[in-house]
Structure 1
Amino acid sequence: MGSAAEKEKEADKLLKKANKETVPSLLDFRFSADWEQAAPLYERAAVIYKQIGSKEKALEAYERAAIAQEKIGSLWHAAKHYEMCGDICKSSSEWERLSIFYKRAADMYRTAGKGTSGADALARGAKALEDNDSETAIKMDLEALDIYEEEGKENMGMDVYRATISLMIRTKRYGEAAQALIRMALACDRLGAKSSQCKAFLGAMVIHLHNQDAALAWQTFQDALDVEVFSSSDEAFVADALFMAYRSGSEAEIKRVVKEKSVFKQLDNQVARVAMKLPSSNFSKMAEEIDQLMGGEGEDEEEDVM
């Protein structure tokens, strides 16, 4: 085993040799760039640089290896190298570059006809970013969900739905979180995942209530009741009880419903935590709004749900 300095010298030679292969040379009878020769040289250099902890040089070598693989049409390998670049950026806390490399990886996978692998790459990048650039992480997660849905692979994206909803809640993007929960409910409908679908609908109502948006909370409830699976579910009865508690104007009654109905504790973690905090401040105004909304529906429809 050579020293780190010796290994770095070896990698430098490989990188230099690879670079030469990408430039035409009459002396070497190379009339155009030879990316097939360059690719494995870049890869060997990258591995050595990474082993000795030379992050910036490893990043350069992996990026060039990715470009070389792209040039010769091996998009899968190009994507893998771009992901490795992203991993190195994570260890160096270079968040903007990390997102760029994971997006490149996703593009390579998709161009290669591997859409779900592209979505997976975006989700991995988002996970790496969530504590340092939540806005970009959410955008990447949503793009990943677009791909899963386009591919008809919503089942592979369930963890991503949950991850982005959790991140939205942690960063107080409550309106977006509620929208994502409804989107998840619709995806669950396509999958026949009835239990998750009902919990997602209820979760959206909880988030709207926490965000003091009575109208959207009530509208979500009414829309969900049009879905047969939800209308006869435990979540529907619990939601009705929650709205009735709000309508009463009693903070104690709201807390009692949330505490006694186990369905709230069965929601995904961040959503359940929000439920346990109900009601939020200024709930008296919410109570008035909900009373008006429910009063406009008529007693017969309320009894249908009870």
Structure 2
Amino acid sequence: MTDRKAQKLAEGQQQLLAAEKHLKTGFFKWRPDYDSAAVCYQNAALAFKLAKEPEKSKDAYEKLADAHYRLGARFHAAKAYEEAGNACKELNAHNLALGFYDRASDMYLENGTPDTAALCLERAGKSVELINYEWAIQMYRKAAEICENEEDSKHRQAAEYIDRVARLQVQNNKLTDAVQSITKQCKLYSQIEKGQDNIPRLTCNLVLVHLHIGDPVSAEQAIYAATDYADSFDGTEEQDALTRLVEAYNDEEQDKLLQVTHTPMFKFMDNVYAKLARSLSVPGCSTSKPTTAVGIKQHKVAPTAEIVGQMQKEVDNMADKMSSLAASAPDIGGNVSADKSPQENQCVDDDIDLT
């Protein structure tokens, strides 16, 4: 332990003891002094943080949040809970960290700052996306609910949070849940000024998810529903392409389906949905260059009977050629060729000295 670390640890412990004294009551002190205790807890938390002791820092920040809450300072209590969550992340206690972030968002809401509450939950969701996507989804959903409860101008932000939810669900093969999330996005954007411009993109995402589930009927219904969300969708390039895509899927024509999914409209989608497009195939068939979508398991496809038959013919032809060559080859063991005269064969035998 370095001298600086030992110094900061000792300083933190002294501040904790001072805070406890401020909270004690006696005959001449009827109420705890939370103002002075909050200052001591703040100093202690900072000292432990500089000493690289996240466990002690987390405890100090939690006590600081309680002191601010008792003083009615909801915003400062929320900031302390956020710091406690950050300390938990350093300890890899992500589940505990999310609990502190959730309490911080509640404090921000009580303080009347919903924007800050949503941002707090967004930061929490980003921190655990690669660790536990279900936790991230919970954070993004709560952030979206906060934005939905605000004025209409916040609905766009809510739709963006739901988009994060949908992408995580597709990546982790939760396609049925993704359908609900994308549908909710469409409803939110349809209520936003200039939000209808996003309907064609979302409809493409929705149709791809439906087809991967194996539900072309719902995919077709999603195309029709898009005109309800946005009148401008009727007659667009996306409507035409999606209609041809569903028709190819229903007719089980893989070549036509690939012609649609290989167009720039599908190639340059969001990466998660572009992989869905590349891996899409009609029932009972596989793409010529199979690509596994994120979170979607890929299965080997057995060769068709036509391919097997063609391979068998090639093997039979090769066997016939080998038989013909063997029949026309000279009899090396007897050194006699059927194509030569008896005299020539006799000369050959005379040249071989067996003694």
TM-score > 0.5, shorter chain as reference? yes
Cα distance in 1, alignment partners of residues 212 and 224 from structure 2: 18
Does the 8 A contact of 2:121 with 2:139 survive in 1?
Answer: yes
- Picking from 248, 253, 256, the partner of 1:250 is 253
Q: Which residue of 2 aligns with 1:124?
A: 123
- Greater share of residues in helix: 1
Does the 8 A contact of 1:210 with 1:280 survive in 2?
Answer: no
Does the 8 A contact of 1:212 with 1:280 survive in 2?
Answer: no
Does the 8 A contact of 1:95 with 1:133 survive in 2?
Answer: no
Alignment of 1:103-252 (within 5 A): 103-151=102-150, 152=152, 153-191=154-192, 192-227=194-229, 228-252=231-255
Q: Residues 23, 236 of structure 1: CA spacing in aligned structure 2 closer, same or farther, 3 A cutoff?
A: farther
Unaligned 5+ runs, structure 2: 287-355
Does the 8 A contact of 1:212 with 1:283 survive in 2?
Answer: no
Give secondary structure in 1 for the equivalent of 2:262: helix
Q: Residues 111, 190 of structure 1: CA spacing in aligned structure 2 closer, same or farther, 3 A cutoff?
A: same
Does the 8 A contact of 2:18 with 2:40 survive in 1?
Answer: yes
Who wins on radius of gyration, i.e. which is larger? 2
Cα distance in 2, alignment partners of residues 60 and 281 from structure 1: 57
Cα distance in 2, alignment partners of residues 47 and 270 from structure 1: 41
Q: Residues 215, 20 of structure 1: CA spacing in aligned structure 2 closer, same or farther, 3 A cutoff?
A: farther
Give secondary structure in 1 for the equivalent of 2:30: coil
How far residue 267 of structure 1 moved from its aligned partner, in angstroms, is 2.9
How far residue 275 of structure 1 moved from its aligned partner, in angstroms, is 1.7
How far residue 103 of structure 1 moved from its aligned partner, in angstroms, is 0.6
Give secondary structure in 1 for the equivalent of 2:24: coil
Q: Which residue of 2 aligns with 1:292?
A: none
Does the 8 A contact of 2:216 with 2:250 survive in 1?
Answer: no
Q: Residues 99, 249 of structure 1: CA spacing in aligned structure 2 closer, same or farther, 3 A cutoff?
A: same
Q: Please tell me whether residue 20 in structure 1 is matched to residue 21 in structure 2.
A: yes
Q: Give RMSD over aligned pairs.
A: 2.0
Give secondary structure in 2 for the equivalent of 1:63: helix
How far residue 281 of structure 1 moved from its aligned partner, in angstroms, is 5.7
Q: Which residue of 1 aligns with 2:347?
A: none
Report the residue type matching 1:185 in the other structure.
C
Does the 8 A contact of 1:188 with 1:197 survive in 2?
Answer: yes
Q: Residues 82, 277 of structure 1: CA spacing in aligned structure 2 closer, same or farther, 3 A cutoff?
A: same
Give secondary structure in 1 for the equivalent of 2:191: helix
The one-character-per-residue Cα deviations of 1:231-253 (angstroms, maximum 9, x if unpaired) are 23322122112112212211122
How far residue 61 of structure 1 moved from its aligned partner, in angstroms, is 0.6
Q: Which residue of 2 aligns with 1:35?
A: 34
How far residue 230 of structure 1 moved from its aligned partner, in angstroms, is 2.1
How far residue 186 of structure 1 moved from its aligned partner, in angstroms, is 1.9
Cα distance in 1, alignment partners of residues 283 and 91 from structure 2: 42
Q: What is the TM-score with the length of structure 1 in the denominator?
A: 0.85
Cα distance in 1, alignment partners of residues 235 and 14 from structure 2: 70
Q: Residues 36, 255 of structure 1: CA spacing in aligned structure 2 closer, same or farther, 3 A cutoff?
A: same
Report the residue type matching 1:119 in the other structure.
A
Alignment of 1:22-101 (within 5 A): 22-26=23-27, 29-101=28-100
Q: What is the TM-score with the length of structure 2 in the denominator?
A: 0.74
Does the 8 A contact of 1:178 with 1:205 survive in 2?
Answer: no
Greater CA deviation, 106-115 or 219-228? 219-228
How far residue 172 of structure 1 moved from its aligned partner, in angstroms, is 1.1
How far residue 138 of structure 1 moved from its aligned partner, in angstroms, is 1.0
Q: Which residue of 2 aligns with 1:290?
A: none
Identity of aligned residues (%): 28
Q: Which residue of 2 aligns with 1:265?
A: 267
Does the 8 A contact of 2:216 with 2:246 survive in 1?
Answer: no
| Number of residues of Structure 1 aligned to a counterpart in Structure 2 | 281
How far residue 22 of structure 1 moved from its aligned partner, in angstroms, is 2.4
